[in-house]
Structure formats: structure tokens, C-alpha cells
Structure 1
């Protein structure tokens, strides 16, 4: 009995020691990590890093792509494409060494459509879960790959929606469904696919009055988010002109509208944030309500009744906001970092950092990590008092993807490589 007690205490001690490590290694499974929030709760990446400091490995990656890396277990996954869009690929790297585990072409495209120089043919971030990687390239194709080998388990290439300037919406998994948005210049809709087979479970066309015949004002690059309000799940879906919330259907049912926030604008590009009381959305270019907080307990049109606050000042179009301890931080297209009180929108401070921010910031251990397009990295305190810079680095390569944080590692994708920084 004493022997059993000894081993019981030893096991308990080991579990206690390992618990923080397991928590810090929470998978960075989708665009902007868990729930699309950009926050790694128990992680502790390095404050100071760069090409010559705290660099564990750097792996060159072929092609041109803005998709962000996702991480599960000891593997890093990402997508890429040839510059002409004729080959769309996925890669798997070993997290410990950076070695490429597999690299394969998922889709061949005979005649790719136009893609604007500010975008790529592989800008949609994949979703990873045990054994399966879900990759999406807009209407060029969606596929489920075996995470260990890269082998295609199923694919869909039948959805018609002209991205016009290139794809950008990232997929999410909820329960047994893979949810994907298509907001093109011609057709705009959402689909829920059976994640095991790829078969369509439901499809919902947008019913938005865009108040224009110009397809350019109908397209968007948003990623949806599932939240729970008063015991009911909502799918919050950013689009051009409006952000909409839907009631998720039972199997075989239809997506039902709950509320809509009409904000105008186009190119909405970031996942919503949720703090339990308010949804925070960026609404794209051309909108005076470019950044807004919305209470999600309304019905039908909520623009006049449930918008807690909104602003068009220092609001990002490409880079998503980040929420830390009741503070909302943004880095915008003009190189300005801003801290606001999340509940009221009150501006607490702003600081011109320089450059353009397309990559979304991430946070861990009370620090914000933000990269501008030119490859400069800014590490600053998640502080509402003032801007406090903790480190400034130059990766000397373009950064458009959002970083990933796993444990004590910061994973950054630049134009030509993937980097792992760790003390």
C-alpha cells in the first residue's frame, strides 16, 4: 500500500509539473489561433529575437502566399501557391527541426483568374485537427488532407464564386462541419460541409442589399466565428456591407438569420472577437463604422439598437484587432498602433510605428507581437496606460501572414521562409 501511495504521489507530482507545459502547447489550429482570438493564454515566447537572436530554425518555403501557419502537436502546416496560381500546394514541417515532412500540390489550375498584387492564390489559412488538415483556396478548391501524409481524403471544386482579386476567407471547423464563406463579385454565400466526407450539409445565400451593381463592393475576405449567447450558438459572419449572425441548424436543417449589423464598406477581412458581452468587428474599406462593438443578443436589424460603439479612426482594414484584459489593440494600414477601452471604445493611447500592418498581431504573457509589411517586428506591453516597447526587430523579409504561438515558440512566416524563435 505504501508503494502504491508513493507511485500515486509521484504521478501526481509529474502531472503537476507537466500541466503548464501542456497548457502552453495548446494547438494553434486555425487563422489567428484558438477561436480566432490571436491570444495564447499560457505561452511565453521570447521578448527579444531576430535573424541572429533566439532563432531555432528557418526553413525556406517556395511560392508566394499570405496564409498563416497552423500548429498541432509536433507539426506546422501551411499552404502556398505558384505566383501564377497554376499550382496550389500544402506543406508540413517538423516543429522541432523545421525539416519539411511532406510537400505536395493539392490542386492544378489550368486558367487562374486575376489576382491583385496585394493578394495571393494561397491567402486562406488552413484548419488543423487530429489526423486531418482542411485547406481552402477560394473557388479553386477545398480539400481535406491526411495530416500525416498530405494525401487527399476528399475535395470540392464545384463552388462558383469569382474572388476577382484573389481568395482570402479561411475555413473553420465546428462540430462535424467545415464552414466556408464565399463572397465574390458575382455570388455570395456560406456552406457547411460534412468534415468527414465533404458533402454539403447546408448552403445559405447572402440576402444583403448591397445598394450597388458593382461586384467590387460585394466581395469580402472574412472568416466566421461561432459564439454562444444565452445558451444558443450563433455563427457570426462578416461580409461586405453587413455582418450577420445565424442560428446553426440541426443536421439537415437550414441556417436561420438572427441579426444583422449594417455598416457599409467592402473587403471585410478579419474574424470577429467576442468577450462574452460584445462582438468586435472590422468592416473593411469605405465604411465610417470601420471598427465596431456589437451586443449579440439582438434580432433582425441591430444597427441602431445594439451597437455599443463604433469608429472610423485608426481602424485597420487588413490587420485584425486583439483583445487582452478588457483592452482592444489595433495596428492599422497607416502604421499606427492604438489601445482602446473595449467596453466603451475610448482611445487610451496611440503610437505611430511606421510601415503598413497587414499581418494581425498576436499576444502572450502580457505582450503584443506585431509585424508590419516591411518585416519589422514590434513587441510591446499589453498596457492601457501608455505604449511601452519591449523589443524591436527587423526580419529583413516581407511579413503578411499572422504569426503562431505554441508554448515558448513564436512561429513567423515571411515571404520566403518560416521561422521559429525560442529562447
Structure 2
């Protein structure tokens, strides 16, 4: 059990967006570490101190009864979190009102494999990672989520599940922690897996935001990893940068 807190004033992101033409990404916090993935906000007079015990600069506090290690993402007046655990066999998305902390809705993401591995045994994950470590990502129309089960789902802003995909055996000794990245009309999934170089079966996958179908996928010469990719602007065009031992690999985010 945890809590979510709002700090005053509002946070804004800056620099490179997944789609440079969409100012909405600059004005929100749509993914892990903000629009750029760099954890940087625009220059301004921001609150630098707060205290949950005294209430200094705390707008509200709301209890969250969904286990998870994911970070919140924000679009407009909505805050999104994910949670999941094996005991209740629930994978959830929670939506809070930004100004008040009111829980607007919580939706269950039904997993095709029912949180069980392909051999029928329950999917065990590293305790410190948990079942909901990857942070969600949003494009302002839907929020995209993923879990230890390797399920990826799209949920609209009213809490309706639009689609769910299972990518296969996650095969990650410390559990999945890589967060999703929305780029234009695809959700980019760095699906690195395998315990040793010999059994690595990693992929970079682009899923259509509308349907969840695979737009393109590329094999990756790496085993399990936990980093989250970023898109950067270069003189030759946007590049998708990934990191997994022993390589840093750049891809064209439009074609893979």
C-alpha cells in the first residue's frame, strides 16, 4: 500500500518530444521521466521544498491500495498509475483527478495468461521489482500500460480497455521494469529477455496505438535489461536510443 501526492505548482516537461509537432507532450508529463525521458522541466519558479508531515506545499494526499513501483504520468487534469499483484491476480490502471486527488476510476486489465508462465506455473518475479514496475505512457487519448506478465494494454480516458496484447514469456530474472514510449501512432516496447547470451530472444516492438497489432519488430542482440528508451532529435532525423549490456543501439523509430 502506498500513496500519491500532488506538489504545487504544476510540473511541465521540455525539450524533445515523441512527436516534435505535438505541443501536448511539452505541456504534460506523459511518460517515465517526462516527455523527453530526461527528467527535465522548463525553467520557472517551481516549488523546491515540501513536507508530507507538516503539509507544507502539499495540495492533497490519497491512499493507493494497488501495489506497484511505476511512476505516475500526467495529462491535463488526470494522473495515471498502475498496480498489480499475484495474490489478487489483478492488473490495474488507476486514474486520479489532478487538483483534488479524487479517484475517478480504476480498471482491470485482464491478462490472457492469467499471470501464469507458459508451463502452467505461476509467474514469479523479483520481490523488489514487483508486478507493476514499468511506468505507463499516454498520448492524450489513451494510456498505455504493461506489467511483469508481458501484457501490454491501451485504456481510454474513461477507463475502458481498448486492447490487450501478451508478448510472450518475459524471461527476466529481476522482473520487467522497462517503461513504454509513445511515438506518433505506435507504442514502442523494448522487450529484452533471456538470462544468458545463448538464450536471449530480445525484440524491439512497435504496436499500433489504435489496435495493438504489431507495426514492426526487430530482434536485438542482448539479454534481459531494465532501461527505458528515449527518442532524440539529430541532424539526420529522430533516433530511438536503447541501452542494454553490452550495447547502446540506435534505431529509426519510424521503421525500426
TM (normalized to structure 1)? 0.49
- Gaps of at least 5 residues in structure 2 are 1-9, 14-25, 117-121, 195-199
Aligned alpha-carbon RMSD (Å):
2.2
Q: 2:130 aligns with which of 117, 120, 138?
A: 120
| Higher share of residues assigned helix | 1
Q: 2:95 aligns with which of 92, 95, 98?
A: 92
Write the distance in 1 (CA, Å) between the matches of 2:168 and 2:203.
Answer: 10
| Counterpart residue number, 1:174 | 183
Q: Alignment partner of 1:57: what SS?
A: strand
Q: Alignment partner of 2:36: what SS?
A: helix
Shift of 1:158: 3.9
Q: Alignment partner of 1:235: what SS?
A: strand
Shift of 1:136: 1.2
- Given the alignment of the two structures, is residue 131 of structure 1 paired with residue 141 of structure 2, yes or no? yes
Shift of 1:93: 0.3
Relative to 1, partners in 2 of residues 1:166 and 1:204: Cα closer, same or farther, differing over 3 Å? same
Shift of 1:90: 0.6
Q: Deviations over 1:348-397 (max 9, x none)?
A: xxxxxxxxxxxxxxxxxxxxxxxxxxxxxxxxxxxxxxxxxxxxxxxxxx
Summarize the alignment of residues 12-51 of structure 1 with structure 2, pairs less than 5 Å apart. Answer: 26-51=27-52
8 Å Cα contact 2:190-2:229 kept in structure 1:
yes
Relative to 1, partners in 2 of residues 1:22 and 1:118: Cα closer, same or farther, differing over 3 Å? closer
Relative to 1, partners in 2 of residues 1:187 and 1:203: Cα closer, same or farther, differing over 3 Å? same
Shift of 1:230: 1.8
- Given the alignment of the two structures, is residue 206 of structure 1 paired with residue 226 of structure 2, yes or no? no
Write the distance in 2 (CA, Å) between the matches of 1:170 and 1:131.
Answer: 18
Shift of 1:161: 3.0
The number of aligned residues is 221
Q: Deviations over 1:302-358 (max 9, x none)?
A: xxxxxxxxxxxxxxxxxxxxxxxxxxxxxxxxxxxxxxxxxxxxxxxxxxxxxxxxx
Shift of 1:232: 2.0
| Counterpart residue number, 2:245 | 240
Q: Deviations over 1:397-418 (max 9, x none)?
A: xxxxxxxxxxxxxxxxxxxxxx
| Counterpart residue number, 1:224 | 229
Shift of 1:66: 0.8
Higher-RCO chain (CA-CA 8 Å, sequence separation at least 6): 1
| Counterpart residue number, 1:308 | none
Write the distance in 2 (CA, Å) between the matches of 1:63 and 1:239.
Answer: 30
8 Å Cα contact 2:154-2:163 kept in structure 1:
yes
- Gaps of at least 5 residues in structure 1 are 1-20, 209-217, 256-423
Structure number with bigger Rg: 1
